[in-house]
Structure 1
Amino acid sequence: MANQDSFIDEVTEDLRRDRLFALMRRYGWIAILAVLLIVGGAAWNEWRKATAQAEAERLGDAIIAALETEDPAARRAALEVVDTSGRPDLAALVGLLTAGADIEGGDLAATLSTLDALAASPEASPLLRDLAALKAVMAGGPTMSPDERITRVQGLALPGAPYRLLALEQIALAEIDRGNVEAALDRLNEISADSTASQGLRNRATQLIVVLGGAPDGA
């Protein structure tokens, strides 16, 4: 009986082995293909990440090199050749830097044109659009009426807006130009009492309050 059982086990094992080999011959290419796809996918992903990193470094180096240029016109020219295609936020950032070069070079018209275009761009992120709108008012304040300046930034001064306090400062300055001292003081006191305001911004607000004859809240 023992010999018979051993013989049966051997036959069963051979049958299993033959069935396994048959399955391998029939479907083994699927396993090989799966391995190739996994290895190939991993290699492609690593190549893609390395390429993206190299491209980001190249663009970063180009922007840094442009910013190190002291002459505003040369800086603007260097920024203009930075390839930002397919990168709307990078394009907006380069636009902001270009506007900075223009204002430093005394070309207010070019500055406002660039900033207004960025503020209206549907492709740039809201954060960069709002920053462009704020910078346009800050740069072009003397050429804009107080009403226009307030209209441009009042949406940026809403609670929770990222540049709320800076927008309030611009509104306060416009109210001063309007001759509305009380409204200006209200805005300035709001800034000086805000714990999230930077020290520089709080100092500017406090100084203006004193110049206008007011007393900072808590003083």
Structure 2
Amino acid sequence: MREVDEAVRQDQFADFAQRYGKPIVAAVVLGLAAFGGYLFWDHRQEAALETESETLVGALDQLQSGNFGSATERLEPLAAEEGGAATQAALLKAGIAMEQGRNEDAAKIYAEIAADGDVPQLLRDLATVREVSATFDSLEPGEVVTRLKPLAVPGTPYFGSAGELVAMAYLDQGKNQEAGTLFASIAKDEAQPDSLRSRARQMAGVLGVDAVEDVDAVLDGIREPAAAPQAQQ
């Protein structure tokens, strides 16, 4: 089991670095786009909404150009206000902080959003997952499990993200069977991104838990990328 634990630990850190490194801003932006309908839930005047939208678009343009400092400056006034646009700006600020390696600053912002009773529950849950991911290395495994287990349930919006973190916390607790079972559930969930399902499938396999329901489909998925370069020759 020592070899398994070492292999799991290596995969754990590699996956964690990959998942919460540079892709964090893109992930936050995509998440915000998906929940756009929830962000402007307060009844502001149309002119104010238009101004807020322009501010957010300008900040996003700066983000895409890699100008994190300028993006943060554009977001500061909006994040200090109230309402859905302020929540969106705060989420973007936290994403920028994560990208810059300022995990403590990001976690503080996420914690404030998660604790705000005026923010829709869906966004509060998102902030909770992000906060835990930002502080994962400094949290006790039991705290990670306690905070995220209610969200790490198949069929819930954040099953994949929360489930992966809970599974890694199980590994830190030495609960390899629980971790493997959860990784397998993520791998079998067709609603999850392929990259996440692939990671979860590998982790489940290392832990001795079968995560493959359709072997032929998995093999086809492996063969297709390998065959693509040959077809172009």
Distance 2:76 2:59 in 1: 10
- The answer as to whether partners of 1:175 and 1:184 remain within 8 angstroms in 2 is yes
1:82 is aligned to 2:82: no
Structure 1 letter corresponding to 2:94? A
Counterpart for residue 16 of structure 1: none
- The structure 2 residue matched to 1:189, chosen from 151, 172, 184, is 184
Distance apart, 1:157 and its partner CA = 2.2
Greater Cα radius of gyration, structure 1 or 2:
1
CA distance in 2, matches of 1:66, 1:123: 29
Q: Sequence identity, in percent?
A: 28
Q: Quick one: distance in 1 between partners of 2:52 and 2:93?
A: 19
**In the alignment, is residue 112 of structure 1 matched against residue 111 of structure 2?**
no
After TM superposition, the score normalised by the length of structure 2 is 0.65
The residue type paired with residue 75 of structure 1 is: A
Corresponding letter in the other structure for 1:90: A
Note the C-alpha offset of 1:202: 0.8
Change (3 A) 1:173 1:96: same
Aligned residues: 170
Provide the C-alpha distance between the structure 2 equivalents of 1:172 and 1:127, rounded to a whole number of angstroms: 22
SS in 2 for 1:70: coil
Letter in 2 for 1:127: L
2:150 to 155, 158, 178: 155
CA RMSD of aligned residues (A): 2.3
1:172-211: per-residue Cα shift (whole Å, max 9, x none)? 1110111111000110111112222221221110111123
1:146: how far off?
Answer: 0.7
Cα contact 2:184–2:209 (8 A) shared by 1: no
State the distance in 1 between where 2:143 and 2:130 align: 14
Q: State the 1:71 CA deviation.
A: 4.2
Matches of 1:57 and 1:102 in 2, distance apart? Answer: 21
Task: Mark the runs of 5 or more structure 2 residues left unpaired by the alignment.
Answer: 1-44, 216-233
Q: Does 1:95 align with 2:90?
A: yes
Q: Distance in 2 between matches of 1:135 and 1:185?
A: 23
Mean Cα deviation higher: 90-99 or 178-187: 90-99
Query: Runs of 5+ in structure 1 lacking a partner?
Result: 1-47
Matched residue SS, 2:209: coil
- Higher normalized contact order (CA 8 Å, seq sep 6+, divided by chain length): 2
- Alignment match of 2:193 (pick from 198, 204, 214): 198
Rate the CA distance shift 1:57–1:119 in 2: closer, same or farther, 3 A. Answer: closer
Deviations 1:133-160 (A, max 9, x none): 0011112111111111111111212454
1:174 aligns with 2:143: no
Who is 2:18 aligned against?
none
